A and B are shown apart, each in its own frame.
Chain A
């Protein structure tokens, strides 16, 4: 039944049994129903009880990332060092100080996404970059990236850094099997192992699931005058960040069937921004093996939900 449009019977009209029966059968749904639709339904007719009882969030899980205690507890710091050889890139899965891998493990009950479903993930980790000396500026040949010579006060020429060195943390997942032996970067995410001439790294446009951690803070203690700066060997302030929290999120709208067995956070560094020298000069993040540092982390969390599309 769609909208009922039947001429009414007025006083004095002649009607028949057929017309009268048709008036009532207008409301009959079977046969040929079911047929009630928008024409028979008032605005705001449907409230909570009318909706399916199938949860919108089909699956959810929360797991520990890194160590299972705050870092004031002994033995709860995991430390890594930066890559110093492009032939042997150092990437690192977030784990405990005892080298027990920590990740979102779905292998026991994998999440099956179908087209239209959405996978949403959040993570955070307390981190502390470390370094010795002033690796952004001195004692290294060839020099680190981001080093610039500028006119200095008192007639000198000083080497300063752009301060853009960073660590990156990015997501990988296993969508192959519960064996968790086939980890790949999530869609639109690089593993920072691509070759660009004599360098290695990744495209910035492939960092959909990347969070960066500044490698250090460097700033001038002196007061610049007329475009000149103080001698950084005397007036440069720099420090390790100390522990702070880095976080990331990622969402994946499924366009086909995908079974997720696990998601993990990887860590690598130290990288520095760059760009292609030709073509579209696309932005890159490249390893800088001449800037050496470390990164320690304590504890964090990784959570995800699987939401149905229909």
Chain B
């Protein structure tokens, strides 16, 4: 509402305290709760300083602002510099059956964000980015000395509306076991070791982006399913964008 003084004063009339107070009270109401969009100047004038500053959550590494959430983490902080993926968690040394339920997959620690949305209608868009490098094996596992052993990595979104079906196996990215490092070298016995460097083979370098709409508080992170005895995830990073 625009402000309109309830009383207009006229020369020669008695000026009453009540009339002055009524104008002041109306002004007080207007300035506290009466300013509406129509009262604002209709050209761009809002500056950064006028916008509520984002709130940083140092534990999760994200900041909440008026237009969304953003943040990132890389490795596990000062004390955790390596993570593992392993077939001993996911229970298979080789597989011909696609793992389709959440129970088949194991979370990769410290690769997730848990966020509380400040605005849910219309549903915000969540964009989760990740990358990692891993040494996979060498593992003298089944199937041609491990040539058929892989680790798959994909996103896991814990959203109560999705239950346990949120993982899409066909969206998982894969990296093969560094089986060449185990096979008999042209000289010497297995493992070949440094003679067979971690080039692209078995030196997984993955990156992915998950785009997702939700109106609920969620946890989004990475899970793996592996048939390799162990994969050392030596570098990784995750980043989050949420747009209201």
Chain A interface residues (CB < 8 Å from chain B): 16-18, 20-21, 24-25, 27-30, 33-38, 41-48, 50-51, 53, 55-57, 60-62, 64, 67-74, 122, 124, 126, 128, 214, 217, 219, 221, 234-235, 237, 239-245, 247, 249, 298-301, 303-305, 307
Contact yes or no, A237 B195, CB < 8 A: yes
CB distance from A100 to the nearest CB of B (A): 14
Find chain B residues with CB under 8 A from A27 CB.
3, 27, 30-31
CB distance from B73 to the nearest CB of A (A): 19
CB distance from B117 to the nearest CB of A (A): 11
With A72-B95, A249-B209 already in contact, the answer to whether A48 and B51 are too (CB < 8 A) is no
CB distance from B4 to the nearest CB of A (A): 6
Contact yes or no, A29 B175, CB < 8 A: no
CB distance from A301 to the nearest CB of B (A): 5
Contact yes or no, B41 A34, CB < 8 A: yes
**Please, how many angstroms separate the alpha-carbon atoms of A246 and B10 in the complex?**
80
Give residues of chain B (161-214) contacting chain A, Cβ–Cβ below 8 Å: 168-177, 179-180, 185-187, 195-197, 199-202, 204-211, 213
Please tell me which one of the listed residues A33, A244, A300 contacts residue B176 in the complex, with CB atoms under 8 A apart. Answer: A244
Contact yes or no, B174 A126, CB < 8 A: yes
CB distance from B236 to the nearest CB of A (A): 14
CB distance from B200 to the nearest CB of A (A): 5
Please tell me which one of the listed residues B51, B125, B201, B211 contacts residue A241 in the complex, with CB atoms under 8 A apart. Answer: B201
Please tell me which one of the listed residues B67, B147, B197, B204 contacts residue A219 in the complex, with CB atoms under 8 A apart. Answer: B197
**Please, how many angstroms separate the alpha-carbon atoms of A305 and B209 in the complex?**
11
Contact yes or no, A37 B243, CB < 8 A: no
Find chain B residues with CB under 8 A from A73 CB.
96, 98
Contact yes or no, B180 A239, CB < 8 A: yes
Instruction: Count chain A CB atoms within 10 A of each CB in B3, B177, B180, B204 and give the residue with the most.
Output: B3
Give residues of chain B (87-146) contacting chain A, Cβ–Cβ below 8 Å: 95-98, 118-119, 121-122, 124-125, 127
Q: Is B56 an interface residue (CB 8 A)?
A: no
Binary A-proximity of B34-77 (CB < 8 A = 1, otherwise 0): 01001111100111011111000000000000111000000000
For the complex, would chain A's binding face be called helix, strand, loop or mixed by DSSP majority? mixed
Contact yes or no, A37 B41, CB < 8 A: yes
The tally of residues in B whose CB lies under 8 Å from a CB in A reads 78
For the complex, would chain B's binding face be called helix, strand, loop or mixed by DSSP majority? loop
Tell me the nearest residue of chain A to B210, going by C-beta: A303
Find chain A residues with CB under 8 A from B4 CB.
28
Find chain B residues with CB under 8 A from A71 CB.
174
Please tell me which one of the listed residues A72, A214, A300 contacts residue B97 in the complex, with CB atoms under 8 A apart. Answer: A72
> 13 other contacts beyond A24-B3, A70-B169, with CB at 8 A cut-off?
A36-B35, A44-B50, A68-B170, A69-B170, A124-B209, A241-B199, A243-B174, A244-B200, A299-B170, A301-B208, A303-B210, A305-B125, A307-B243
Tell me the nearest residue of chain B to A34, going by C-beta: B39
With A29-B2, A48-B119, A303-B209 already in contact, the answer to whether A55 and B243 are too (CB < 8 A) is yes
**Please, how many angstroms separate the alpha-carbon atoms of A44 and B31 in the complex?**
17
Contact yes or no, B50 A21, CB < 8 A: no
Find chain B residues with CB under 8 A from A303 CB.
209-211
CB distance from B224 to the nearest CB of A (A): 13
With A17-B10, A21-B8, A235-B186 already in contact, the answer to whether A46 and B175 are too (CB < 8 A) is no
| 7 A-B contacts (beta carbon < 8 Å) | A38-B50, A45-B52, A55-B244, A56-B243, A60-B211, A74-B96, A221-B187
With A239-B180, A243-B150 already in contact, the answer to whether A57 and B243 are too (CB < 8 A) is yes
Q: Is B13 an interface residue (CB 8 A)?
A: yes
Instruction: Count chain B CB atoms within 10 A of each CB in A27, A42, A235 and give the residue with the most.
Output: A27
**Please, how many angstroms separate the alpha-carbon atoms of A73 and B26 in the complex?**
74
Find chain B residues with CB under 8 A from A126 CB.
173-174
Tell me the nearest residue of chain A to B129, going by C-beta: A122
Contact yes or no, B50 A41, CB < 8 A: yes
**Please, how many angstroms separate the alpha-carbon atoms of A70 and B211 in the complex?**
20
Tell me the nearest residue of chain B to A61, going by C-beta: B211
Q: Is B33 an interface residue (CB 8 A)?
A: no
Contact yes or no, A57 B46, CB < 8 A: no
Find chain B residues with CB under 8 A from A33 CB.
2, 38-39
Q: Is B83 an interface residue (CB 8 A)?
A: no
Contact yes or no, B201 A217, CB < 8 A: yes
Find chain B residues with CB under 8 A from A307 CB.
243
Find chain A residues with CB under 8 A from B5 CB.
21, 24-25, 28
Tell me the nearest residue of chain B to A218, going by C-beta: B199
CB distance from A125 to the nearest CB of B (A): 8
Q: Is B23 an interface residue (CB 8 A)?
A: yes
**Please, how many angstroms separate the alpha-carbon atoms of A146 and B28 in the complex?**
80
With A17-B9, A30-B38, A305-B127 already in contact, the answer to whether A51 and B66 are too (CB < 8 A) is yes
